[in-house]
Amino acid sequence: MRIVVGITGASGVIYGIRLLDFLKNAETFLIISENAKQVIEIETGYDLKEIEAKATHVFANNDFTAPVCSGSFLFEGAIIAPCSMKTLGNIANGISSTLIERVAEVCLKENRRLVLVTRETPLSEIHLENMLRVRRAGAVVMPACPAFYNKPRSVLELVDFVVARALDAFGIHLNTKRWGEQKEKQQEQERKSRKGVWAQEEE
């Protein structure tokens, strides 16, 4: 399976990095925006080369000669995680000023899967209108909103919840905790231990 992973300069670049970890068996085409490179440095301890080594192919965000720039090159679709409001806005308005935006445009025109893991809060009317626009054009808009019913024990579990939902859209189902799949007793035990953890974190 060929999947494009775009990482833009919104907070939460770890979403894109974790995606690559779970896509080891796929052929991945990684594009990291210039702003994302800055955010990677600010938010993570990752070296750029370390992240790039997780992907099969790597392209610069201004390389419009990349195969994924054309609809004639066959790939399943793209996940942009995180997706900044700037990239969302350009996609919503058909502006392909970067390779990530061009890949999104290709996905929409070719009816391929496009998942946008958006990250911003609060959302302005313009952001909401752009989300509606891309949704109507066929994209899946997936704000980076982890759930808590699975009683996450770490930040990584919160991250992986969002990543798992993005991969669900591609029919790739990670073995993460899902609603309705935990036994009641186990849930009760976890509820009790969670209480303790929340209390600790509050201290």
Buried b / exposed e along 20-40 (16+ C-beta atoms within 10 A) = bebbeebebbbbbbebbbebb
Is residue 35 close enough to count as binding ligand FMN by CB under 6 A? yes
Number of chain positions touching ligand FMN (CB under 6 A): 17
80 binds ligand FMN (CB under 6 A): no
**Cβ 127 to ligand FMN, closest distance in Å?**
8
Looking at 3, 10, 31, 163, which residue binds ligand FMN (CB under 6 A)?
Answer: 10
Residue whose token pair is 């700037």:
86
- Tell the smallest beta-carbon distance from residue 202 to ligand FMN (Å): 26
Span of 4-12, 109-117, 170-178, 189-197 interacting with ligand FMN by CB under 6 A: 4-12
Calculate ∠ Cα 89-78-42, nearest 5°. 65
Which amino acid is residue 15, in one-letter code?
Answer: Y
Amino acid type, 129 = E
Instruction: Kindly report the backbone phi and psi dihedral angles of residue 148, in degrees, each rounded to the nearest multiple of 5, phi listed first.
Output: -120, 0
Which residues, 88 to 107, sit near ligand FMN by CB under 6 A?
Answer: 98
CB of 198 to ligand FMN, least distance (A): 25
Write down the least CB distance from residue 88 to ligand FMN, Å.
7
Q: Please, what is the minimum distance in Å from the beta carbon of residue 82 to ligand FMN?
A: 7
Q: Which two tokens stand for residue 17?
A: 């990095």
Residue type, 11: S
Q: Of all helices (H) and strands (E), which one includes residue 195?
A: helix 184-202
Residues that bind ligand FMN (CB under 6 A): 8-11, 33, 35-36, 38-39, 42, 84-87, 98, 119-120
